[in-house]
């Protein structure tokens, strides 16, 4: 039987495609974003302990209270933001679920949603499923900054939501305080909501400060702020994230969440609650990944790839315009199958397929992996 597709233009996500190709050709996988090193041993021990102690049944729908409180405490200590763990924090099955619930809760047929290209690929399909209209605004090349004049020109009576991804995947750009001021000026006195995808919140480099929307009371009052433990604690496969929003917005969010996944894995939530209470692990994460970025860049110095600025995330963009004018999808495929290095072609994140001859390399890898990859890339 044929199903008329609700997402006729959507294929398999590039992350699944490139990781499969990397596996098929035994290539070094710098495509999909995940570390090739382990998460903290205490976390693994703690999950085992909670499992053995019998924490194996459904947790509360909005998340284990201890974890929600630990999340609220973290932001109180980081940004002096007072959050009510009961009404403003919801634990989800990865940030992906949180993005789905937030967009679905907000967007009605005909509503317009502004996203910035190159855009992470999990936003538009959900907008489309809700009957919304995606308005894409290009970030400027090569610094991938937001042109606020364009945003202003794009806002109209139908604008429901602006989705911000900060630090930005795939480009590694970050919002500055100047961006925040522009955003504040644009949305004040409008009914526009914000969705901030901040999964790389702790991976910011060179002394910059992460401009979380949680820092700004006026913005926080109209925002869903989404994050993920996967990026912070090196366990992307656990799929545990969360969403922070004011009580009324969280209530609508939870109406969707309860019939989507209802809740997420119990022993992992308890383990994370415990870990967050005593560990300031995330505070050194920026430095940890900055060292990896610097190491990778140093090894790539003699290559014909040109590094673009990277202020955050664990992704490094590289221009290959000096090597070939092949399309980036074709070149990424060739690099995987013939040279044994998998990366992500950036054109797939553009609504119009804009090909700037740029590939994304994930540097959340052991030094040995980065060295091997750079050695190959320097010969190309």
What is the closest distance, in whole angstroms, from the C-beta atom of residue 199 to ligand GLN in the complex?
8
Which of ligand PMP, ligand GLN, none has residue 228 at its interface (CB below 5 to 8 Å by kind)? Answer: ligand PMP
Which of ligand GLN, ligand PMP, none has residue 95 at its interface (CB below 5 to 8 Å by kind)? Answer: ligand PMP
| By the rule CB under 6 A, 173 interacts with ligand PMP | no
CA–CA dist 205, 37 (Å, integer): 21
CA distances from 140 to 16, 145, 171, 280, 364 (A): 28, 5, 11, 35, 26
Chain centroid to CA 218: 23
- Among the listed residues 230, 267, 312, 345, the single contact to ligand PMP using CB under 6 A: 230
- Among the listed residues 50, 55, 120, 275, the single contact to ligand PMP using CB under 6 A: 120
CA distances from 114 to 154, 252, 351 (A): 8, 21, 12
Instruction: Calculate helix-pair angle for 65-79, 266-278, nearest 10 degrees.
Output: 30
Tokens 């806002």 found at: 155
What stretches of 245-346 show up as alpha helix (H) in DSSP? 247-260, 266-278, 285-299, 328-334
Per CB under 6 A, which of residues 23..42 are in contact with ligand PMP? 33
Per CB under 6 A, which of residues 199..218 are in contact with ligand PMP? 199
Per CB under 6 A, which of residues 123..182 are in contact with ligand GLN? 169
How many residues bind ligand PMP (CB under 6 A)? The answer is: 15
- Among the listed residues 228, 232, 336, 347, the single contact to ligand PMP using CB under 6 A: 228
CA–CA dist 285, 349 (Å, integer): 26
Which of ligand PMP, ligand GLN, none has residue 32 at its interface (CB below 5 to 8 Å by kind)? Answer: ligand GLN
Strand ranges for the chain from DSSP E: 28-29, 89-92, 112-117, 133-138, 159-165, 193-197, 223-228, 241-244, 306-307, 315-319, 341-342, 344-345, 358-362
How many residues bind ligand GLN (CB under 6 A)? The answer is: 5
- Among the listed residues 22, 33, 168, 174, the single contact to ligand GLN using CB under 6 A: 33
Residue ranges that bind ligand GLN, judged by CB under 6 A: 13, 15, 32-33, 169
Task: List interacting residues with ligand PMP (CB under 6 A).
Answer: 33, 94-96, 120, 122, 165, 169, 197, 199, 228, 230, 236, 239, 241
């Amino acid at each position: 039987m044929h199903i008329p597709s609700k997402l006729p233009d959507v294929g398999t996500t590039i992350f699944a495609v490139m990781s499969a190709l990397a596996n098929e050709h035994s290539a070094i996988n710098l495509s999909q974003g995940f570390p090739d090193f382990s998460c903290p041993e205490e976390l693994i021990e703690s999950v085992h302990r909670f499992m053995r102690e019998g924490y194996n049944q459904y947790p509360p729908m909005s998340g284990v209270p201890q974890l929600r409180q630990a999340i609220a405490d973290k932001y109180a200590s980081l940004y002096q933001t007072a959050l009510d763990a009961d009404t403003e924090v919801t634990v989800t099955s990865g940030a992906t679920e949180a993005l789905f619930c937030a967009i679905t809760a907000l967007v009605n047929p005909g509503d317009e949603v502004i996203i910035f290209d190159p855009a992470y690929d999990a936003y538009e399909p959900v907008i489309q499923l809700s009957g919304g209209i995606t308005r894409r605004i290009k970030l400027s090349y090569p610094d991938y900054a937001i042109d606020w004049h364009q945003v202003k020109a794009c806002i109209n009576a139908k604008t429901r939501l602006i989705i911000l991804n900060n630090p930005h995947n795939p480009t590694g750009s970050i919002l500055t305080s100047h961006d925040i001021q522009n955003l504040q000026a644009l949305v004040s006195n409008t009914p526009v909501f914000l969705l901030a995808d901040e999964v790389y919140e702790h991976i910011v480099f060179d002394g910059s400060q992460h401009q979380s929307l949680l820092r700004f009371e006026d913005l926080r009052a109209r925002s869903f702020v989404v994050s993920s433990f996967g990026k912070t604690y090196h366990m992307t496969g656990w799929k545990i994230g969360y969403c922070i929003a004011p009580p009324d917005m969280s209530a609508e969010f939870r109406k969707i969440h309860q019939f989507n996944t209802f809740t997420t894995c119990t022993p992992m939530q308890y383990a994370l609650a415990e870990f967050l209470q005593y560990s300031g692990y995330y505070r050194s994460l920026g430095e940890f990944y900055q060292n990896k970025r610097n190491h990778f860049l140093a090894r790539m110095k003699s290559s014909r790839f040109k590094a673009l600025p990277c202020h955050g995330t664990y992704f490094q963009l590289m221009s290959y315009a000096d090597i070939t004018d092949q399309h980036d999808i074709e070149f990424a495929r060739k690099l995987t199958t013939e040279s044994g290095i998998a990366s992500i072609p950036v054109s797939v994140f553009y609504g119009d397929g804009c090909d700037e001859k740029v590939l994304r390399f994930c540097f959340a890898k052991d030094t040995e992996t980065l060295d091997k990859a750079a050695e190959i890339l320097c010969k190309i």
